Amino acid sequence: MSEVKTDAVLSQNLLTAQVAVLGAMMLEEDCVGYVLSHVSARDFLDRQYRTIFQTIQALFRAGLPTSAIAVREKLGGGPSGSWSQRLTEIVTEVADLTPTAANVEGYVHLLRESSTLYQLQELGGILQGAGDMAEARAALDKAMQLVVGQPDIHAITFAQGYEQFFDRHSGDHAVEFLDWAILQLNKVLQMELGNIAIIGAYPGDGKTALALQCAARFGQKHKVGYFSFESRSERLYDRQVSRGALIDAGKINSNQLTEEDFQEILALKQTLAGPDVTLIDAVGMTALDIVAYSQAKHYDVIFVDYLQQVEQSAGPLLSDFARVSQVSRALQKFAVRTNTAVISLSQLARPDKIKVRYKDEDGNTLVRSITPPPTMSDLRSSGQIEQDADIILLMWREDYDLKNSPRVIQVAKNRNGEALDKVRCRFDGEHQTFSRIEPRVPPRAKPESLQQCFWGDGSDWRELAAETKTPFPDDRKEAQS
């Protein structure tokens, strides 16, 4: 293929990709979040398409429609022959040329490749005509940034870090951590927006109830999205009513509420309806769907219930291990890039029971099988989960033979502070509520006399002194020598 033909094909690919991506964003608002997660204004090399992209981006971030009509109104039109008038005409042409948004992923990939290759060719021309090494090195540096794909990497030198340190830690700007439902976790976790946390538990231990209680707490200050892959959103909200109004969940599920129950629910409207939480039926969604929807709705915090149920993105069928790893990495990148807190629930692989011996009241030796406490290696399907998470909470029952056995929540991993702390909680399944069990303070032993023997045998020191000239004759001799 000749050089002229190569340039022509590349230019045509770039033009096609720019038009197709913009058309998809105006045709299907649901794909705008996905596009914004993978391309930026710099990928649109033609000025008019870059301006249209930035207009769509501004509308999306403001929570407004991104249809062709909305984009034209935002651009404002103008007199015939003006720049803004030409842009509105291009918007109409782009919309007419895009019949569907179904292939947006392919066109996003084509846009990034074509844009990068086009810019590399331009840098090649600059490199060929470079007059000195400084100009050549500058071209090579830009080329390497393009190849890496992250030309806008955030970085600071030690000198810059030193200058900024005093402004960031002067106390003028208070650090805001997420306020967990179990308050004792706050000081330990110190979780910020942009962190990713995992709540791991065996099936049936109440991890969804704990997550909903935390979501309601977060929703008092932040916008929260709860993606459920197991329960319908209406059923999840029934749990919120049960927890907030302390009404038996069984009565709600069987429609046996009394007039007094309804009056209580009405009186608690602010508690039950006030938190800014959206419950999403997420069955069939991929990690990219979660990312796109979250960006479209501008969530500060998202819950994924649960991680192993998220579908894989398009491509060859992956094993469970590879699929969960892919999902975990996608959510981790999303959290860091968008400063969104991600709390994912994870099933634990239940280990084999172990046998322990104990004695009953009559002194008979008995054998009992128990489920040992989980570890991070029990996170089901992928070790990638452990790697990506900033915080990992593991929850289990103290006694699996008792329905209402206390739950133990352990901070198994904590990049923001100390780990291995444990909190014992009471789980009220009827009301879907967790509450902390205050630790018992052991009673202090009452001494039999004002001062006891050094050896702790309970004898009075005065009795020992009467038997010898000094309570500690050996020590006295050593001191004199």
Percent of all residues in the chain with a pLDDT value above 90, rounded to a whole number: 4
Chain centroid to CA 306: how far? 12
> What is the average per-residue pLDDT within 52-60?
87
Specify the pLDDT at position 173. Answer: 60
Structure tokens that stand for 479 in this block: 């001191």
> What is the average per-residue pLDDT within 334-338?
83
> What is the average per-residue pLDDT within 19-34?
86
Cβ partners under 8 Å of residue 260, min gap 6:
none
Highest mean pLDDT among 55-64, 77-86, 164-173, 347-356: 55-64
Specify the pLDDT at position 446. Answer: 54
Contact 267, 298 (CB under 8 A): no
DSSP states of 432-447 as a string? TEEEEPPPPPPPPPPP
> What's the CA dihedral at 327, 332, 335, 336 to 10 degrees?
-150
Q: In this model, does residue 309 exceed pLDDT 80?
A: yes
> What is the average per-residue pLDDT within 52-66?
84
Across the strands, what pairs with 311? 286
> What is the average per-residue pLDDT within 46-68?
86
Q: In this model, does residue 456 exceed pLDDT 60?
A: no
Of 11-25, 26-40, 279-293, 461-475, the one with minimum mean pLDDT is 461-475
Specify the pLDDT at position 294. Answer: 85
Cβ partners under 8 Å of residue 323, min gap 6:
310, 312, 381
CA–CA–CA angle 335, 337, 341 (5° rounding): 25
The CA distance from 102 to 319, in Å, is 26
Lookup result for tokens 């074509």: 114
Closest CA to 214 of 375, 421, 425: 425
pLDDT band at 440 (very low <50, low <70, confident <90, very high): low
Of 207-221, 311-325, 341-355, 429-443, the one with minimum mean pLDDT is 429-443
Structure tokens that stand for 241 in this block: 């009513």
pLDDT band at 170 (very low <50, low <70, confident <90, very high): low
pLDDT band at 473 (very low <50, low <70, confident <90, very high): very low
Q: In this model, does residue 448 exceed pLDDT 80?
A: no
Contact 304, 286 (CB under 8 A): no
The CA distance from 78 to 100, in Å, is 29
Q: Three-state DSSP class for 285?
A: coil
Specify the pLDDT at position 471. Answer: 43
Phi, psi for 17 (deg, rounded to 5): -65, -40
Lookup result for tokens 């969104």: 340
Mean pLDDT, the chain, integer: 78
Please state whether 281 falls in left (phi above 0), alpha (psi between -120 and 50) or beta: beta
* Domains parsed from the chain with CATH numbers: 3-148 (1.10.860.10), 184-436 (3.40.50.300), 442-481 (no CATH)
Q: In this model, does residue 240 exceed pLDDT 70?
A: yes
Burial 342-362 (b: 16+ CB within 10 A, else e): bbbbbbbeeeeeeeeeeeeee
The CA distance from 464 to 450, in Å, is 14
> What is the average per-residue pLDDT within 73-95?
82
Specify the pLDDT at position 458. Answer: 47
The CA distance from 357 to 218, in Å, is 44
Of 262-271, 359-368, 443-452, the one with minimum mean pLDDT is 443-452
Q: In this model, does residue 46 exceed pLDDT 80?
A: yes
Specify the pLDDT at position 481. Answer: 40
Q: In this model, does residue 229 exceed pLDDT 70?
A: yes
